A and B are shown apart, each in its own frame.
Chain A
Amino acid sequence: QVQLVQSGAEVKKPGASVKVSCKASGYTFTSYYMHWVRQAPGQGLEWVGIINPSGGSTAYAPKFQGRVTMTRDTSTSTVYMELSSLRSEDSAVYYCARDPVDIVATVSSSGSYYFDYWGQGTLVTVSS
């Protein structure tokens, strides 16, 4: 069964960076894009960006461009999201979420931009 297991909660000071991991299992890691979505306390859902686990290409929401970096390690089926220059407004639960399109089977050059499986979430708290 598909599982996405994220790293634990983090507390960071303003201006610092945080790196969150998401380990995938139960499917072919390189066949499905992975997204990151965040949710501030009591708020709605906000898309952060997407990574192709096969080639490593990425696309980020304009709001995070320049501050976010997504990477992957195919040997461990893990994707990472690093967010720098943290501010209090970045305090949120960060989710990894799989794109449902099989890149290989559909010969797709992009994801479908919705989310069929989600990690359990990682709470990032930014506080001085």
Chain B
Amino acid sequence: DIQMTQSPSSLSASVGDRVTITCRASQSIGSYLNWYQQKPGKAPKLLISAASRLQSGVPSRFSGSGSGTDFTLTISSLQPEDFAAYYCQQSYSAPPTFGQGTKLDLK
């Protein structure tokens, strides 16, 4: 199975900050990388697919980049509703696997 490693595991930030979350795959996965946001008690929500494709309805302050083994999710200016957990997930090969998550909370 492909291992996905996110960093950091947790992050404290303030409204208006620019934050970056990193995801590394244990082997090259091309651009088969997806990002999800999960709020407490809720199902994950797909934010970005294929490393950089913003899903419909997702604010443009979210962006994704990378290919091969190294990927980033950037939030350009944090809003109060962005404090949540974020997961990367590879869809290059089965079984699909997730990073361990990054918990973003208010400083």
Contact = CB atoms under 8 A, between A and B. Distances in A.
A46 B100 CA distance: 10
Contacts of B98: 44-47
B91 interface: yes
Interface stretch (A9-17, A81-89, A107-115): A107-115
Nearest to B44: A118
B91 A114 contact: yes
Contact of B49 (A46, A62, A114): A114
Contact of B96 (A113, A116, A119): A113
Interface in B30-80: 34, 36, 43-46, 49, 55
A95 interface: yes
Interface residues of A, number: 20
Given A59-B94, A113-B94, A114-B34, A44 B87 contact: yes
B64 to A, nearest CB: 13
B89 A45 contact: yes
Shortest Cβ-Cβ A-B pairs, 5 listed: A118-B43, A113-B91, A114-B91, A113-B96, A45-B98
Interface of A: 35, 44-47, 59, 61-62, 95, 97, 100, 112-116, 118-121
23 contacts: A44-B87, A44-B98, A44-B99, A45-B87, A45-B89, A45-B98, A46-B98, A47-B96, A47-B97, A47-B98, A61-B95, A97-B43, A97-B44, A100-B49, A112-B91, A113-B91, A113-B96, A114-B34, A114-B49, A115-B44, A115-B46, A116-B46, A120-B43
Given A97-B44, A113-B96, A114-B96, 18 more contacts: A44-B99, A44-B101, A45-B36, A45-B44, A46-B98, A47-B97, A47-B98, A61-B95, A62-B95, A95-B43, A112-B91, A113-B91, A113-B94, A114-B46, A115-B89, A116-B46, A118-B45, A119-B43
